[in-house]
């Protein structure tokens, strides 16, 4: 029998489960805060629970299910974790230390069904959707590894659903994970600290627009015309640029006055980075009267992807053209390229920079 996976339960669900063991509701609150606030990954550490209950929980349930296979540390401090699910599928998570607030980039699927030609994850194909628990676990592991078990995050944490997978093709599980993480008795990471990136699953963009307490949205564009986007991101054949932009317009109408969403634009040398393409991109955004900002991401190369990154001067010129047409643009500095942890590089590969964990992740305390 598959053991019940506790990290993927809301407090309400946990209360029901614990009730079925004949235990009062306050036990569920203790267990929930043990896992989600103190970030304890074993019942043995929850010494506020009676021993007998701990034994029963260990027999019938499990807290984490991911096991850490490898941990890689980049020269720039970025960390990549490669986990395996209980059924042996790879899951990757990236911790990105930053000056003001650290970011955790998590995966929503093992592999990815989309076939973007510039992304290494595409080469895995879809292995399977991750469960809500498998999503929440990634964040707990990364926090414990970066700061110590249960140690408060110094300046809060930003989360981005920009790891492997298409989050909007695993919408229910993603939204449940976000609800669990939002609980003030647990991780208390509010949706306002979370950004979900999509390759353009139009019905879900429209649906997100109707949800009040929701994460931020990023949309991966990669090309200003259908002709090129069909080639780079085949999902465009299903939802072409006009449909995507109309949904973005709808989404923007639901934003608060000073809020913006983001377009991501990977910069591929000689493919989508010309002056003309910058003008086309600005024109598309302006045609739909979008205030969105554009994040320019220099391509992160990896064998056997057939592209090279645009030069920095090209990226800067591209940015200037967008700005001259009133479109706000930013350049995203690549992080963790040397350990294949940067955007589009997650493919469960091993690299240099491995810093093995000597004790099981669930008990590991980093000095
Ligand atoms: N499937 C979702 C979530 C992944 S986010 C999406 O496509 O939005 C990963 C981001 O990295 C996307 O914006 C994607 O366009 C970008 N990306 C993919 N491969 C890349 C690469 N090799 N170099 C730079 N960015 C890449």
For residue range 97-136, list pLDDT tens digits in order. 998 899 999 999 999 999 999 999 999 999 999 999 999 9
pLDDT recorded at residue 365: 42
Question: How long is the chain?
Answer: 367
Residues flanking ligand 1, CB < 6 Å: 118-119, 162, 166, 197-199, 220, 222, 264, 266, 297, 299-300, 343-344
The whole model's pTM is what? 0.95
Residues 19-62 have pLDDT tens digits of 999 999 999 999 999 999 999 999 999 999 999 999 999 999 99
State the pairing for strand pair 4-5/61-62: parallel
Residue 359 has pLDDT above 90, yes or no: no
Q: How far is the CA of 220 from the centre of ligand 1 (A)?
A: 7
Cα of 110 vs centre of ligand 1, distance in Å, is 15
Output Rg (C-alpha) for the chain, integer angstroms: 21
How far does the centroid of ligand 1 lie from the alpha carbon of residue 88, in Å?
24
363 — pLDDT class (breaks 50, 70, 90): very low
Report the sign of the C-alpha dihedral through residues 246, 282, 166, 139, in that order.
negative
CB 183 within 8 A of CB 139: no
pLDDT, one tens digit per residue, over 186-222 is 999 999 999 999 999 999 999 999 999 999 999 999 9
Atom 20 of ligand 1, nearest CA residue: 344
Among 105, 116, 119, 343, the one annotated catalytic: 343
**What is the reported pLDDT for 177?**
98
Residue 361 binned pLDDT confidence (cut-offs 50, 70, 90): very low
User: Residue 194: beta bridge partners?
Assistant: 159
Give the pLDDT confidence of 239-287 residue by residue, as tens digits.
Answer: 999 999 999 999 999 999 889 999 999 999 999 999 999 999 999 999 9
- CB-CB contact of 308 with 269 (8 Å): yes
- Identify the residue whose C-alpha is closest to ligand 1 atom 25: 343
How far is residue 150's CA from residue 136's CA, in Å, rounded to a whole number? 15
Q: Ligand 1: which of 292, 340, 343 to mutate, judged by most atoms within 8 Å of the beta carbon? A: 343
Q: Which of 244, 266, 331 has most ligand 1 atoms within 8 Å of CB, for mutation?
A: 266
Average pLDDT over the chain, rounded to whole? 94
Tens of pLDDT along 133-149?
999 999 999 999 999 99
Statement: residue 79 has pLDDT above 80: yes
Distance between CA 150 and CA 94 in Å, rounded?
Answer: 19
H/E stretch holding 69 reads strand 67-73
What is the rounded CA–CA span in Å between residue 36 and residue 188? 9
Give, rounded to a whole angstrom, the gap between the first and last alpha carbons of the chain: 37
Catalytic residue among 45, 69, 92, 252: 92
pLDDT at 296 over 90: yes
- Measure the CA–CA gap between 340 and 351, rounded to whole angstroms: 7
Q: What is the pLDDT of residue 352?
A: 85
Task: Concatenate the DSSP letters of all residues of 152-173 into one string.
Answer: PPBTBEEEEE-SSS-GGGSHHH
Q: Whose CA is nearest to atom 13 of ligand 1?
A: 220
Please indicate whether residue 92 is annotated as part of the active site: yes
Q: Distance between CA 288 and CA 243 in Å, rounded?
A: 11
């Amino acid at each position: 029998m598959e053991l019940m996976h506790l990290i993927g339960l809301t407090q309400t669900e946990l209360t029901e489960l614990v009730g079925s063991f004949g235990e009062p509701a306050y036990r569920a609150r203790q267990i929930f805060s043990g896992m989600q606030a103190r970030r304890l990954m074993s019942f043995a550490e929850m010494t506020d629970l009676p021993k007998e209950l701990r034994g029963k929980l260990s027999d019938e349930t499990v807290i984490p299910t991911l096991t850490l296979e490898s941990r890689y540390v980049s020269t720039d401090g970025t960390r990549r974790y490669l986990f395996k699910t209980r059924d042996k599928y790879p899951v990757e998570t990236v911790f990105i230390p930053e000056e003001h607030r650290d970011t955790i980039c998590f995966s929503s699927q093992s592999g990815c069904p989309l076939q973007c030609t510039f992304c290494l994850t595409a080469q895995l194909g879809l292995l399977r959707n991750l469960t809500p628990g498998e999503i929440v676990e990634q964040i707990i592991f990364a926090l414990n590894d970066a700061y110590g078990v249960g140690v408060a995050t110094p300046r809060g944490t930003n989360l981005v659903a920009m790891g492997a997978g298409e989050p909007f093709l695993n919408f229910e599980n993603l939204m449940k994970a976000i609800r669990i993480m939002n609980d003030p008795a647990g991780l208390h990471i509010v949706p306002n600290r979370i950004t979900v990136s999509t390759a353009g699953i139009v019905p879900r963009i429209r649906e997100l627009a109707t949800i009040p307490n929701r994460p931020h949205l990023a949309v991966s564009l990669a090309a200003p015309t259908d002709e090129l986007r069909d080639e780079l991101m085949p999902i465009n054949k299903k939802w072409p640029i006009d449909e995507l932009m109309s949904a973005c317009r709808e989404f923007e109408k639901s934003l608060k006055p000073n809020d913006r969403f983001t377009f991501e634009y990977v910069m591929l040398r000689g493919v989508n980075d010309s002056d003309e393409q910058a003008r086309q991109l600005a024109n598309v955004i302006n045609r739909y009267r979008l205030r969105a900002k554009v994040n320019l991401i220099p391509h992160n190369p990896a064998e056997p992807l057939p592209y090279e990154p645009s030069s920095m001067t090209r990226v800067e010129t591209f940015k200037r053209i967008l700005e001259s047409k009133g479109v706000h643009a930013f350049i995203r500095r690549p992080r963790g390229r040397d350990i294949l942890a940067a955007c589009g590089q997650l493919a469960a590969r091993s690299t240099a920079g491995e810093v093995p964990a000597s004790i099981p992740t669930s008990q590991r305390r980093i000095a």
